[in-house]
Amino acid sequence: MSTRALEAVLFREAKIRATNWTFIFWDLLYPLGYLLVFGLGMNASLGFTSELTGLDYNAFFLAGVLGMASFGIASNTSWSFFLDRDNGIFYEMLTYPLSRSQYLVGKVLFNVGIALVQALLTVALSALLLGVRLEVRGLPLLVAATVVGTSGWFFFYAIFALRIRRNDTFNAVTSVFYFVFLFASSMFYPLEPLPRAFRFVASLNPITWHVDVLRYATIGVGAPRMIALEAGGFVLFTLVTFWLSVRALERE
């Protein structure tokens, strides 16, 4: 894959995002804000009981917040297809000397960078401000899960952003995705006490796989064999969504 083409898309994305520092600031700090407001509130008002003894909600929710942030960045990045279409630049870019896959990978690279900075900042500050005890050994896995996770969700959203022509329809679809994917998963609560049917659905949800890997990477919770299976599942999910998003772009 030509690095020149990737570098050009990366440069373009960075140039556009650099025009709005508020947005970058929000991107970097909003998961932490979520953790501080929602996590702290839940912890203080409802307490936290689970089979995961010795764990408070802040520690548990850290991985959920990281997963949610990747999901959110991916959704925002795919929404930019609509902006590019409205500006006409989307179609012009399809005549540039880069392949469709380079276009998609380049587009996600900058946002993967943002997601990485965001994840490392959130993890570090959760330890400093909330006293979350981190698994330092899990750092490489955290980096890998953030990179693959953000990419996988971007490719997933890109399939819909490229096939759906109206941004109001796309917004409706993403709202449904947010509801279904986020709540039917291990993002906000442990799955063990939940009804069997709920647990079954959540176990098929790639958000659960992603968040479980992030949880293992940050606080070391989870069975290694199961985590390996979930990580493999998510990599497969990413490859399939990448292929489908390239196909969708080729049909433009």
Residues that bind another protein (CB under 8 A): 4-5, 7-8, 11-12, 15-16, 19-20, 87-89, 91-92, 94-99, 252
Q: Compute the half-sphere exposure of residue 154: CA atoms within 13 Å on the CB side of its CA.
A: 28
Task: Closer to another protein by CB, 200 or 243: give it.
Answer: 243
The structure tokens listed for 148 are 């693959």
Question: What minimum distance in Å lies between the beta carbon of 19 and another protein?
Answer: 5
Q: Which one-letter amino acid corresponds to residue 57?
A: Y
Question: What minimum distance in Å lies between the beta carbon of 25 and another protein?
Answer: 17
| Residue given tokens 């898309």 in the structure block | 9
d(CA 204, CA 115): 24
The structure tokens listed for 93 are 């870019």
Question: What minimum distance in Å lies between the beta carbon of 97 and another protein?
Answer: 4
Question: What minimum distance in Å lies between the beta carbon of 162 and another protein?
Answer: 14
Q: What is the CA radius of gyration of the chain?
A: 18
Burial of residue 197, with CB atoms counted within 10 A of its CB: 0-12 exposed, 13-18 middle, 19 or more buried: exposed
Question: What minimum distance in Å lies between the beta carbon of 248 and another protein?
Answer: 14
Question: What minimum distance in Å lies between the beta carbon of 89 and another protein?
Answer: 5
Q: Which one-letter amino acid corresponds to residue 42?
A: M
For residue 239, what is the enclosing H or E element? helix 224-250
Task: Closer to another protein by CB, 47 or 97: give it.
Answer: 97
Residue 92 CB neighbour total at 10 angstroms = 10
d(CA 231, CA 210): 7
Q: Name the phi and psi angles at 247, rounded to 5.
A: -60, -45
Structural contact between residues 61 and 38, judged by C-beta atoms closer than 8 angstroms: yes
Task: Closer to another protein by CB, 192 or 252: give it.
Answer: 252
Task: Closer to another protein by CB, 2 or 49: give it.
Answer: 2
Question: What minimum distance in Å lies between the beta carbon of 228 and another protein?
Answer: 37
Task: Closer to another protein by CB, 89 or 176: give it.
Answer: 89
Task: Closer to another protein by CB, 57 or 90: give it.
Answer: 90
Task: Closer to another protein by CB, 88 or 224: give it.
Answer: 88
